[in-house]
Structure 1
Amino acid sequence: MDDPLILLLDNGSVQPESTRNLRRLTEALGQASGRTIHPVSLRHADRIAAEALDGRAAQTLGTFLGEQLGLGVRSFLAIPLFFGPSRALSALVPELVESLQSAQGPFKLRLGDPLYPLPAGEPRLARILRDQIDPLIPQSAKARVVLVDHGSPQPAVTEVRLRIAEELHAMLPSGVAFRQAVMERREGKEYDFNGELLERVLDREAQRGIDKPIILSLLFISPGRHAGQGGDIATICSDAQRRHPGLKIHVSRLVGEHPYLIEILRDRLHRGLSAAQEA
């Protein structure tokens, strides 16, 4: 069978820097794999003005697939830039494919594995996080690390963070305390599995004392509404430091800035291509 057209798929953001990062990763993955790969967002990114993206408008999945189907392409492989089995992958993408098939005829969109597939896992993600916080841990190793992610009402997505957290915790010096936090969660005890909001975790840690710095380990790939310059995380940290004078908070770099991520994506791509050829 013909090779599928390959795309690197993220959830999308209205922040231009998110699309810029997607394009950077796509280019790096193309160079590492020797393949032509297209940067595509599931949603949101088409709201960014083309002028903010060097004159090239972002592509969202529905529009991109529709254009390619019009050109006669019928086989696609999407490599998810997602940590785990998000509803975006399990529900939104299939719904979109079904709608396009009804309008433009049959085609195949195969989804590769996410960055941390269950149950196999991916130990390189914890190593990325460890590398990103290593320069921020004082020589005395007296610090507190808080792993923070987006948060999800889906237990399987939360399991990904919990497993990465366990792996990262095992890599830290014995004098480093370890916590977890989320940026979003739903109200109600039925969602307690998701974890505590970052603001509450920071307040509680500050009440325990301000002598040890807090290091935020960001389980985020790209800058967007939460992570990156001017995001919610920066605002929450600034507010916490105003409420607790003397509290020191250091924020790690993003997962998408580490070269190991391209290695992981290249492996997902090779596995996806092998599965497509065997189908």
Structure 2
Amino acid sequence: MLLLLDNGSRRPAATRNLRRLAHHLSEQLGTEVQPVSALHASRIPPEELDGMPAQTLEPFLRAQVAAGEDSFGIVPLFFGPSRAISAFVPEVAGRVAAEVGPLEVRVADALCPLPAGEPLLVEILADQVRRVLPAHGSPAVDVLLVDHGSPLPAVTAVRHWLAEGLAAALADTPDTKIEVGEAVMERREGAEYAFNGRLLAEALAELGAAASGEQPRQVVLAMEFISPGRHAGPGGDIADIVAEAEAAHPGLQVRISELIGEHPRFVDLLAARAAGLEERGPIELPQG
């Protein structure tokens, strides 16, 4: 049984997007793909999801194992080696195996496994940025690649890799000088998390301070997010951060790219990860 796994959100739009991606992946692979969240989504009232409750990993596995299913392949919607992949999935599967019955779980590569990376993600990001560049051109545009933020340096390293690729992909933009930087939507406090880099609010404040009425500062946010939810998409935290920055700096003009999961080629990447499951062995489940 094949699962498409995201982190989960309490926003219905995130589950709707997960279901949309699973549907298109099912069509491309010719086999059913189950949309499942690690956590959170089960709190969404079913009436906000067309009467279909969201599925979360542990109860989903319990029900399937109880019904006789014992082999699962997981395509994770995570850019890097998140603890959801390395710790949460094995812990949940281990509990289910101990309490319900034996099972075998294979987990595909993250979306951008380092050091090889994923060139298709760079192409998608560059395409999304080009779609929102100023319509009449601009001599200079600042592009900020924005992710959620992670306590793991290995996950932040993915953003660095993608930013380097994005800078190269946008270097030949006609008549416009593009500077690619990075920002994080939020991060934990403390010097030990400084590797995350600048907060988005800080980065926009710096760019806004350099703007002038005669020459607005054009900024595009390249969104390293898959689905709309509490942070990305309409009414999310990032939209609020942008609105506050533009209000504080009238010369600042910010455009926000579409999300990676909204690009039509993203399903091609998911299909490639699903195909790679055949070469991967089952994950080790904790004992006891």
TM-score tier (shorter): over 0.9
1:108-257 correspondence runs (5 A): 108-138=104-134, 139-173=137-171, 175-210=177-212, 211-257=216-262
SS of alignment partner, residue 248 of structure 1: strand
With the length of structure 1 as denominator, give the TM-score of the two structures: 0.95
Task: Flag structure 2 segments of 5+ consecutive residues without an equivalent.
Answer: 283-288
What amino acid sits opposite 2:48 in the alignment?
A
Matched, 1:12 2:8: yes
Deviations 1:164-184 (A, max 9, x none): 111001111361122110012
Q: Which blocks of at least 5 consecutive residues in structure 1 are unaligned?
A: none
1:169-210 C-alpha deviation (Å, 9 max, x unpaired): 111136112211001211222211111110001001111224
Change (3 A) 1:148 1:113: same
Structure 1 residue 274, shift from structure 2 partner: 4.1
CA distance in 2, matches of 1:194, 1:179: 13
SS at match of 2:58: helix
Please, what TM-score do these two structures have when normalized by structure 2? 0.92
- What's the offset of the Cα at 1:141? 4.6
Q: In terms of mean alpha carbon deviation, does 250-259 or 175-184 score higher?
A: 175-184
Whole-angstrom CA distance in 2 between matches of 1:45 and 1:222: 13
| Alpha-carbon distance, 1:271 to partner | 0.9
**Residues 66, 101 of structure 2: 8 Å contact kept:** no
Match of 2:78 in 1: 82
CA contact (8 A) 1:148 1:219 kept: yes
Contact in 1 for aligned 2:217/2:251 (Cα 8 Å): no
Q: Residue type of the partner of 2:15?
A: T
Matches of 2:240 and 2:17 in 1, distance apart?
A: 22
